[in-house]
Amino acid sequence: MRTLLLSVVVMVACKGKDADKAGPAGPVKVDALNVQLDVPGKAKVNPGLDANQYTVTGKAVGEIFVEVEKTPTTIEALQNGQSGIEISNFKSEKLSDGFAATYDYTMGSTKSSSVAVHRTINGKAYRCAANSQDKGWLDAAMAACKTLRPM
């Protein structure tokens, strides 16, 4: 859950108005994590805060965090949040190898929304998530995260 807090701090502030103009989704490889996901339009992979985290950025999705989790997150743990973060409007969907969730959160005076997909791929727990106030970005990020798969 430390990553949720970190993700909130680096939350994207721009709008995703170009999402419809981004073009078809194509595979973006996160080589260091040995996974890929389909992201619409042009996207760039950037190193994250440690060797287990990377970001995928693009006009259609804003900023997506992709990481290997040290401890797999459960639906219940995500829904309950952590100290200082209030979770609301939580919805989840079971996937064959994990789950997807959408929710709003409040942390102090910051209010935003998140999407997160947690999957087990080749025996490792992965998290693919985005935070934004832009519904277009969140929808595109959720669709991209649901395609997270091994390379």
pLDDT (0 to 100) of residue 52: 94
13 DSSP assignment: -
pLDDT for the residue 83: 87
pLDDT of residue 2: 45
Predicted pLDDT of residue 22: 53
pTM of the model: 0.83
User: What are the structural domains, with CATH classification, of the chain?
Assistant: 2-12+24-150 (3.40.1000.10)
CA-based torsion, 44, 63, 77, 75: positive or negative = negative
pLDDT computed for residue 138 by the predictor: 95
pLDDT along the chain (151 residues), means of 10: 41 41 77 96 92 94 95 93 91 97 94 96 97 93 97 93
| Token pair in block for residue 112 | 């935003």
pLDDT of 4: 44
Q: pLDDT at position 11, please?
A: 39
Nearest CA-CA partner of 126 in 13, 30, 25: 30
